[in-house]
Amino acid sequence: MASHTAGIRRLTAEHRRWVSPRTDLVTALLGIWFGIGLMVDAWAHANLAELETFFTPWHAVFYSGFAVVSGWIIWQVWRNVRAGRQGLAAVPAGYLAGLVAIPAFAAFGLADLMWHTVLGIETAIDIFFSPSHLGLIVTMLLIITTPLRSAWSAPHVGAAPRLGRLLPALLGLAFATTLVSLFLSYGGALQLRPQAIVQALSLGQGPAIAPPGGGPRPVALGADRVAVSMVVTNVVMLSPVLFLVRRWSLPFGAVTVMYAVIALMPGAQTGFRDVPVLSSFVVAGVVSDLLIRWLRPSGERRGAYWAFAGLSAFATWSLYLGVASAVGGGLPAVPELWTGAPIVAGLIGLALGALFLPNAVAVHPGAGRT
């Protein structure tokens, strides 16, 4: 009976172990290869007129990134199998979802090949709604956030980790956020040029811009488009930060690293033609890091958490409009828009803070082993 029980335990997650911080860092770095591959592919779709084949250099970078990070995750499991661990016990804590996503991603990759072979290559907004692309992006999210899940309840991370120890988790979540921003880029604010922002907020209707994902027909940029883009991007960029702040006391530089990574995707889509606007978000990351040091928001300090959420969003979009105005020819002519937009962003940030932390928590319960 005892031997039977021991055999069952070997097949369960009861004795699963965490990998070393170095292993998580390698997982995150290989995930960067994977993420950069997608950025290169996004650049090609947005800036090259005709992509008529699935077999492109950009796809080669993307799928080779998938191969190396997948091989690394599988190797971690195989090492445990060779050490005598069986079943789920061989899967390191935090690595199970990524492991399951590997064959699913490969299946969606094959489906994407068949889709393009039969129906052709998407060149406009339809690229973000392709079922095979949606499957790829969801499974990719699970793979590259493996270091985050590994660190989430690891006993050696602690409640106030140093930047170096938390870096793999930050990179994983930041690149995951870039995937979300890519598939919502038709409502993204970081793809807009400073001059177009100023003119749209001055006249209510700005110059024509190319639609996200390329395409021959431009779309009109109006004040409503800028306002909606700010709301969408505000939610996409602030949510992962609030997610982390509830779990850890973030070290200085954590938000700056995340915002710098997140800005890479819209930069790739626009060929980095709008560096000043992208840079404003990196500066906003520094400001958010300073706010964290000043307010010390946490799950136990709900008021400070809410204040950080609102002030971080307000500062981010004040910088965005300030830089756009400085580079784009002056303040927009409609004062209600450029004065009220950061306030709206701050209120949305406050609402997000209340959603993420409606009640203060005494002790973080942990996320379990996934």
Global pTM reads: 0.84
DSSP 207: E
Residue 217 has pLDDT above 50, yes or no: no
What is the predicted pLDDT for the residue at 57? 72
Say what the pLDDT of residue 124 is.
66
Q: Is residue 158 very low, low, confident or very high in pLDDT (cuts 50, 70, 90)?
A: confident
The arithmetic mean of pLDDT across residues 309-329, rounded, is 95
Q: Quick one: average pLDDT of 88-92?
A: 90
Q: What pLDDT was estimated at residue 244?
A: 96
Q: Looking up tokens 């981010």, which residue turns up? A: 316
pLDDT above 70 covers a percentage of the chain that reads: 81
Q: Does residue 242 register a pLDDT over 70?
A: yes
Give me the pLDDT at residue 54, please.
Answer: 54
**Per-domain boundaries in the chain:** 1-161, 184-364
Task: Of 16-20, 64-68, 124-128, 201-205, give the range with the top mean pLDDT.
Answer: 64-68
At residue 211, does pLDDT exceed 50?
no
The pLDDT of residue 35 is 85
Select the more confidently predicted residue: 129 or 236: 236
| pLDDT for the residue numbered 49 | 57
More confident residue, 53 or 60: 60
Specify the residue for token string 């800036």.
Answer: 47
* 38/34 Cα distance (integer angstroms): 7
CB distance 43 to 120 below 8 Å: no
In this prediction, residues 244-256 reach a mean pLDDT of 96
Q: Above 50 in pLDDT, residue 209?
A: no
Which has the higher per-residue pLDDT, 36 or 322? 322
pLDDT of residue 18: 85
CA–CA separation, 209 and 195 (whole Å): 11
**178-192 pLDDT, tens per residue?**
989 888 888 889 888
pLDDT for the residue numbered 335 = 87
Compute the average pLDDT of residues 40-64: 67
Measure Cα distances from 76 to 8, 85, 88, 93, 163 in Å.
22, 12, 12, 11, 24
pLDDT at 129: 80
Residue 210 has pLDDT above 70, yes or no: no
DSSP classification of residue 19: P
Q: Phi then psi for 219, rounded to 5 degrees?
A: -120, 150
Q: Which among 183, 338, 185, 316 is positioned nearest to 242, based on CA atoms? A: 316
d(CA 149, CA 172): 9
Report CA Rg, the chain.
22
For residue 272, what pLDDT band results from cuts at 50, 70 and 90? confident
- Find tokens 């031997």 and name the residue: 3
Tell me what pLDDT residue 214 has.
Answer: 47
Kindly state the tokens that stand for 215: 């395409």
| pLDDT score of 327 | 92
DSSP 8-state secondary structure symbol assigned to residue 20: P
Q: Tell which wins on pLDDT, 316 or 220.
A: 316
What does the DSSP assignment read for 250-314? PPTTHHHHHHHHHTHHHHHHTTT--HHHHHHHHHHHHHHHHHHHHH---SS-HHHHHHHHHHHHH
Residue 118, pLDDT > 80, answer: no
Mean pLDDT, all residues of the chain: 84
Report whether 317 contacts 234 (CB < 8 A).
Answer: yes
Residue 119: band (very low, low, confident or very high) from pLDDT cuts 50, 70, 90? low
Q: Per the structure block, which two tokens stand in for 133?
A: 């692309």
* Residue 240, token pair as written in the block: 């992962």
Q: For 187, how many CA atoms within 13 A lie in the half-sphere containing its CB?
A: 15
Q: Band the pLDDT of 53: cuts 50, 70, 90.
A: low
- Say what the alpha-carbon torsion angle 170, 173, 174, 176 is, to the nearest 10 degrees: 160
**Res. 304 pLDDT band, cuts 50 70 90:** very high
